[in-house]
Structure 1
Amino acid sequence: MRLNLLLKIPFFIFLTLFISSCTKSTDVIYFGKTNKSEFGSRTESLEPVIQKNDLLSISVSSLNPEASEIFNVNSTNTIRSANASNSVSPVTGYLVSQEGYIQFPMLGKIKAVGLTKKTLKERIENELIARKLLIEPIVDIRYLNYKVSVLGEVAHPSVLTVPNEKLTLLEALGLAGDLTIYASRNNVLLIREEEGTKKLVRIDLTTDELFTSPYYYLKSNDIIYVEPNKTKIASTGLVRQWLPLVISSLTLVVVSIDRLTR
């Protein structure tokens, strides 16, 4: 009788830990609290303005390919870029200086900070025409360091550098390997800096609020932090609290069995 009781001690301890770590299925399902099937798209422009230290790819074409060639010489400004697979590679382009300018062939210093890509494109095209350097030039500008950081309870926390400048929060989480089972889906933190001010926004992924939120689409340098849920915090605390007791109980069981079987 005494032996059976001693053998059951570890079982009761395990059962207590298991019950305390249980969580509701609605807490781990995306958008489980919504019944709507259609959401309107937001119409405002998603194009960000150019900031200091942005790295831009600028290509120029025209009716005269030979005359355009001088404007497509790779810039000497190079940074190292990390992508979702954690590989690192050098990226070459036009670096926006701390004063807010880029140094462009034949045109010299051009102010870029505070402009959208479209505005800078038009400015370069107009300058090329005004100075009679090219006829009907076409300028294409892309960001080379468009990056988003995903931290916390995701499979692969990382800094994501993506060529597509229209990235959603869900796509970013997907590139980071998705949320873990211990992620707090109703309290995802988005950190965004605009005009020198940092904004902290909480997003609930168990409802449909994300689809109508201005934060559905991410901007360069956004930071996503996924907090651990109460289950993980509680289980971590319980493990630290109960582990010495479990070890002591198992030791007691082994000693008791040894004595009873003599």
Structure 2
Amino acid sequence: GYRVDSNGNIQLHRLGVIKVEGLTRALLKDKLQQDISPYLKDPVVTVYFQNHKITVMGEVGSPKVINMPEEQLPILEALTMSGEVSDYARRDNILVIRDTETGKQFKRINLEDQSIFTSAWYWLKPGDVLYVQPNDNKEKEAKRARLQQNLALGVTALSIAVIVLDRIIK
């Protein structure tokens, strides 16, 4: 891979400095193939972004940072790449956080609403953060589990106390 410098250029052997800033991947691919053709027969060029990433957090199978294979990534594909939303996820309240020139923008997405497919927020951009909020069931189950633990501990303590008292009385 080749890094793009702060001036929007890459340095290639034999070709020297090439201005890539502002070019789409397709245009850059065509330009590089054309520039390399005098040196190679039928050159094959692949252009991809190494630093285009999004972050998926919250109630998903595997929260992670995802490398974007394209310039934009559909929100559903990002969720699939992170192991789907869990049973404890609020599908009606997915938060997308996006850095813009004017600051951070926040948008709540409802995956159960068909209008998502026509929303500009359906397409994630490099640097976006996706937060899948947990639903109330997760908290209820956690409380239920704590209550069951405490109840089991209480019953065990009471059983031990009864056994000890029974031994002392006999």
Q: How far is the alpha carbon of 1:178 from its aligned partner? A: 1.0
Structure 1 runs of 4+ with >6 Å offset? none
Partner residue in 1 for 2:57: 151
Instruction: Render the CA deviation track for 1:220-248: whole Å, top value 9, x for unaligned.
Output: 333222122222234435655x4685256
Q: Equivalent residues in 2 for 1:77-226 (5 A)?
A: 93-121=1-29, 124=32, 128=35, 133=38, 140-145=45-50, 146-161=52-67, 163=69, 167-195=73-101, 197-226=103-132
State the one-letter code of the partner of 2:93: N
Unaligned 5+ runs, structure 1: 1-92
The separation in 2 between residues aligned to 1:197 and 1:104, in whole angstroms, is 35
State the one-letter code of the partner of 2:95: L
Partner residue in 2 for 1:249: 154
| Shift in alpha-carbon separation, 1:199–1:106, aligned structure 2, 3 A | farther
| Shift in alpha-carbon separation, 1:254–1:175, aligned structure 2, 3 A | same
Q: How far is the alpha carbon of 1:120 from its aligned partner? A: 3.3
CA-atom RMSD in angstroms: 3.8
| Shift in alpha-carbon separation, 1:252–1:141, aligned structure 2, 3 A | closer
TM-score (ref. length: structure 2): 0.70
TM-score (ref. length: structure 1): 0.49
Q: How far is the alpha carbon of 1:124 from its aligned partner? A: 4.8
| Shift in alpha-carbon separation, 1:194–1:159, aligned structure 2, 3 A | same
The separation in 2 between residues aligned to 1:162 and 1:234, in whole angstroms, is 36
State the one-letter code of the partner of 1:250: V
Of the three residues 125, 133, 144, the one matched with 1:227 is 133
State the one-letter code of the partner of 2:22: G
Q: How many residues align?
A: 165
Q: How far is the alpha carbon of 1:256 from its aligned partner? A: 6.8
| Shift in alpha-carbon separation, 1:117–1:200, aligned structure 2, 3 A | same
C-alpha contact (below 8 Å) 1:147/1:221 kept by paired residues = yes
State the one-letter code of the partner of 1:150: V
| Shift in alpha-carbon separation, 1:248–1:107, aligned structure 2, 3 A | closer
Structure scoring higher RCO (CA < 8 A, sep ≥ 6) equals 1
| Shift in alpha-carbon separation, 1:139–1:192, aligned structure 2, 3 A | farther
C-alpha contact (below 8 Å) 1:124/1:139 kept by paired residues = no
Secondary structure, in 3 states, of the residue corresponding to 2:122?
coil
Q: How far is the alpha carbon of 1:107 from its aligned partner? A: 3.3
The separation in 1 between residues aligned to 2:6 and 2:103, in whole angstroms, is 18
Unaligned 5+ runs, structure 2: none
Deviates more, 1:186-195 or 1:172-181: 186-195
Secondary structure, in 3 states, of the residue corresponding to 2:108?
strand
The separation in 2 between residues aligned to 1:209 and 1:224, in whole angstroms, is 18
Q: How far is the alpha carbon of 1:165 from its aligned partner? A: 5.6
